Amino acid sequence: MSKVICALAVSVDGYITGRDSGPDQGLGDAPMLFDWYFDGDTPSQVFDGFKLSAPSARVFDALAGRVGAVVAGHKTYDDSGHFGGGSPHPKASLVVLSHGPVAEISERQTLANTIDDAIAAARELAGGKDVGLMGGGAATAALRAGLVDELVLHQVPILLGGGRPFFQELPEHVRLNLVEAVPAPGVTHLHYEIVR
């Protein structure tokens, strides 16, 4: 069965956006969370236009190559301009998780109202590949439901002091096993498996 992976760029103090993120604002005052996508000389084999350092390219492409569908939360969907009617991943389908109506869902996107339905729809769309999660709310909902297999924190060496947190409150501890830690220019890639 496919795995569910959440891999996000995050500050050392746990934020995936800065202050004032939102529609047409992107990451708010924290665009540096994505600098490592473009500050190297190794082109990504999965995402056109990404030029990463060699260690980042190895980690990023290995993960991105596994993904066949992405689940994104409603806030992430809105803040990202609805992904232009497509997906944040060039080769993966998109499922939008929302408890209410969503603007501009295209025929290339799927809407789900619960995290269980979103993951089930994404697994079907992924065709045997893994499911990626985007957004703190979607990640937290999937963790609460016991649906996440792996977490990857692309940790950028900055304290933002505010913004949207990677994780919201969880009902209990979630134990992790470190699979790999890869230091790279401008980012450290921390790959964990969920301990069941």
Identify the pLDDT of residue 102.
85
Q: Residue 104 pLDDT more than 90?
A: no
Overall average pLDDT of the 57-85 stretch: 94
Among 29-33, 98-102, 138-142, 155-159, the range scoring the smallest mean pLDDT is: 98-102
Q: What is the pLDDT of residue 24?
A: 81
Give me the mean pLDDT over the 174-189 stretch.
98
Average pLDDT, the chain: 95
User: Of 28, 10, 19, whose CA–CA distance to 162 is shortest?
Assistant: 19
Predicted confidence band of residue 105 (pLDDT cuts 50, 70, 90) = confident
Candidate from 19-23, 34-38, 64-68, 187-191 with smallest mean pLDDT? 19-23
When pLDDT is cut at 50, 70 and 90, the band that residue 26 belongs to is confident
Grouping H, G, I as helix, E, B as strand and the rest as coil, residue 121 is: helix
Per-residue pLDDT averaged across 112-140, rounded? Answer: 96
The 3-state DSSP class for residue 143 equals: helix
Taking alpha carbons only, the member of 191, 193, 189, 192 closest to residue 154 is 189
Quote the CA–CA distance of 185 and 176 in Å, as a whole number. Answer: 25
d(CA 96, CA 10): 21
**Mean pLDDT of all residues in 73-91:** 91
- The average pLDDT across 166-173 equals 93
Q: Exposed e or buried b for every residue in 159-183, given b needs 16+ CB within 10 A?
A: ebebbbbbbeeeeeebeeeeeeeee
Which is nearest to 40 in space by CA: 10, 61, 11, 67?
Answer: 61
Q: State the residue for tokens 């190794």.
A: 42
Whether 56 and 72 have beta carbons less than 8 Å apart is answered as no
Residue 180 has pLDDT above 90, yes or no: yes
DSSP, res 22: B
Closest by alpha carbon to 138, among 75, 89, 69, 68? 75
